Structure formats: C-alpha cells, structure tokens
Structure 1
Amino acid sequence: MSDHTTQLLTEPLTGEDARLAALHAALVDRASAESAVDVTYRLVDSPVGSLLLAATESGVVRVAFETEGHDRVLESLGSSVGSRILRGGDRLDPLARELDDYFAGRRQGFDIPLDLRLARGFRLTVLRHLGEIPYGSTESYGEVAVASGSPRAVRAVGSACATNPLPIVVPCHRVVRSDGSLGGYLGGLPAKERLLALERAA
C-alpha cells in the first residue's frame, strides 16, 4: 500500500491543495460508483480514541481501534477483501453520524448495512447473537455460548469477541465474565469500561 493511500491530512487545505483534494474526493466517489474500489475508509475521533471505519459495496466491513494499528488493519483488508483501497468518499458518512449519536447517548443501536465476510462459522453465529444483547445489558461468555447453540464453547466465544471485526457496532463489549468482571477487549479495558458506563448512564 502506497504512502499516498494512507497519508492523513492534518492541516486545512487551501489553493491548489484544496483543488486536488476535491478532485481526489470526486475520483473516489466515481470509482466507488463504478465498483472500481474494494474498500473505502476514513478515520473518526471518538471518546474511545481514533477509529478506522472501512466499508465495501455490501456494507461496513471493519471498525478498528487505534490500538490495533490502523496501518496493519488496512494491510489486512488488502489481503482479505481486496487491494483497491481508497480513503474518502461518502460511503461511511451514515456510520460516522450514527457513532456520533451513539456516543452522545441519542442512539442505542446501529442501522447501517454490515458486511460480515471477515467472520465465519461459529464466530459468525456469535456475532449475530451479540446484536441481540440489549443496550445497557451484559451477558456472560457462557450465556452467549448457550444462546449461540454450543454451551461448552465458552473459549470460542471469547475468541469470537477478541476477533470481532466490527466492535461497538456489533457490541462485544457487552460480554463479560460470569463473575461480572470485564474480561478482555480488543480496544483495551478502559474502552470497554467507557462503553459500558455510557450505556448504563442512558
């Protein structure tokens, strides 16, 4: 992946730079409309740090915490989804708005289309169940295993949560240990604590 693809714009653009940025955005939109792009992505700020959002034609395929390494996530998407990756376009605007509403306490779920191609088998079954855990509630790993049809697969549930490609949107933060302690979290325990506290306060 080229440096140009992953370069972040950190200062306001003026003159020729602004014109080039507008041209780039138009090209991204055009390429997306013509299916010439496998993945588009953008970065958004949030109360749990910078989040990388990525989408395909089918829907949002990845939400990644900064602790995961955004460059590594983009490289992984290049291998697993497709190498034609561009930053920009408006494909991720709906998710960005829904995340803003979620963190502001105005939204309890997400309505955007999801592309779950990065999860298969039992992991996919677990992810589908996670969306059924009510906002502000939690379930233990064991309860999720039972609900997913494999009562003994507690460790597999933990693995599915740890590799969830769509954290926050698919709420693996609502899964805790049977004794009520938090367990692990892809974005780090402070992020998990913050998400649970946000939902409890609503």
Structure 2
Amino acid sequence: MSYRYDFAPTPFGDALAVFSDAGIVSFDLSESTDPGVPWLLEGVSRRLGAAPEKAPGAADELTDALAAYFEGEPVRFDERFAFDWRLVDGFTRSALQAVCDIPWAETMSYGEVAVIAGSPGAARAVGTACRLTPLSVIVPVHRVIRADGSPGHYGAHPERKRYLLDLERDASASRA
C-alpha cells in the first residue's frame, strides 16, 4: 500500500491530509501554526507503519470540497470521497460511520450514536471515538453533542466545535 500526503486549508489552519490507494486515511488539524512540522507526519506514519510521500496537489479535490463546506454548502464528505478506515476498528469504526449519517445542521447525542452503532450505553466510548477520530471535520463528529443539548468539547478546541455547529445552523437557516 502506498501513502501520500498534502495539506488542505481550513479556517483553523492547514490540515494534514493523508491518502492511501483506498481513500483518505487521515485528516488532521494541526495544533501548530506550522503545518510542516515533522511530528504531524511522524504520528500518522507510526500508526500506518509506513511513511507517506509528499504529493503536492493530492488534496486539491478535498480542498475544493472543504471550501464549499466552509462557505455553507451541505457537503457530505463520505459521499464524495472514499475513506480508508484502517486507523480505526471495532466499535470506534462503527461509531464514526454512524456519525457520518447525521444530517447537515442536525445533531445527535453521544448516547443516540451509541445506539445506532450497536452498543446502547456506550456513550462514553462514542465520545472517545469522536475525540480520537483520524478524520476530523470530514467525519462530522462536531454534530455529536451531550444529552443535555450542550455542545461539549472538540478535543481541546470547543471553539472549533461551536464554529462548525454555528456555520451549519446559519447556512441552513439562510437556505430556508
């Protein structure tokens, strides 16, 4: 299996996009202002057991879809791109695949996702799956909220979650 990587701009900074022959393996928002920092690539390389090759332009189509999404279009990334789920398995994979089915501008609780993923009572495990997703933003884990209706966190960036929820809500309201 060969892997390649490129960077895609987002309102949060450039994201590392890693692709395999089967699809998008990882979409990682950097914690750094420098998207070229080696640790980003080292982490995904360690998890893949291989070092992706730099491939300028590999993320062009994804970049276009992200631009449309951030302009308020209801993009469903899993329908436009193949995902290579090799970095997740078991319940985590089931939970993240269930999250993909949450419609644009709608939300579900962690418990509701657990039920759909086949493990009622596994709300905390859904939270862990969302926090550790290798496909941030393009798997809409931001649409998963607490049972009380509050957004909860988004890794260490609850402001990003609020931004994404507001973006979808506002775009949806303007379409109505």
Q: TM-score, structure 1 length as denominator?
A: 0.76
Q: Which residue number corresponds to residue 201 of structure 1?
A: 170
Quick one: which amino acid aligns to residue 58 of structure 1? Answer: A
List gaps (5 residues or longer) in structure 1. 1-34
Q: Which residue number corresponds to residue 31 of structure 2?
A: 67
2:122 is the counterpart of 1:158: no
1:107–1:134 distance in 2 versus 1, CA, 3 Å = closer
Cα distance per residue 1:116-173 (max 9 Å; x no partner): 1001000000011001000000001111111111111111111111111101111100
1:184 Cα deviation from its structure 2 partner: 1.8
1:187 Cα deviation from its structure 2 partner: 5.9
1:95 Cα deviation from its structure 2 partner: 0.9
CA distance in 1, matches of 2:57, 2:87: 22
1:67-86 matched pairs, under 5 angstroms: 67=31, 71-86=38-53
8 Å Cα contact 2:74/2:104 also seen in 1: no
CA distance in 1, matches of 2:57, 2:11: 22
1:41 Cα deviation from its structure 2 partner: 1.4
- Structure with the higher fraction of residues in strand conformation: 2
Cα distance per residue 1:20-71 (max 9 Å; x no partner): xxxxxxxxxxxxxxx6xx3211222211222111111111111111127853
1:1-202 matched pairs, under 5 angstroms: 38-67=2-31, 71-110=38-77, 111-186=80-155, 188-202=157-171
8 Å Cα contact 1:94/1:112 also seen in 2: no
CA distance in 1, matches of 2:74, 2:3: 26
Quick one: which amino acid aligns to residue 201 of structure 1? Answer: D
8 Å Cα contact 1:65/1:187 also seen in 2: no
Identical-pair percentage = 37
Q: TM-score, structure 2 length as denominator?
A: 0.87
Out of 158-167 and 81-90, give the one that drifted further: 81-90
Q: Which residue number corresponds to residue 174 of structure 2?
A: none
CA distance in 2, matches of 1:71, 1:177: 35
Aligned length: 166
1:90–1:82 distance in 2 versus 1, CA, 3 Å = farther
Q: Which has the larger radius of gyration?
A: 1
List gaps (5 residues or longer) in structure 2. 172-176
Cα distance per residue 1:70-94 (max 9 Å; x no partner): 5333112212224332222433221
CA distance in 2, matches of 1:45, 1:108: 16
8 Å Cα contact 1:40/1:86 also seen in 2: yes
8 Å Cα contact 2:110/2:147 also seen in 1: yes
- RMSD across aligned C-alpha pairs, in angstroms? 1.8
8 Å Cα contact 1:145/1:157 also seen in 2: yes
Quick one: which amino acid aligns to residue 78 of structure 1? Answer: S
Q: Which residue number corresponds to residue 22 of structure 1?
A: none
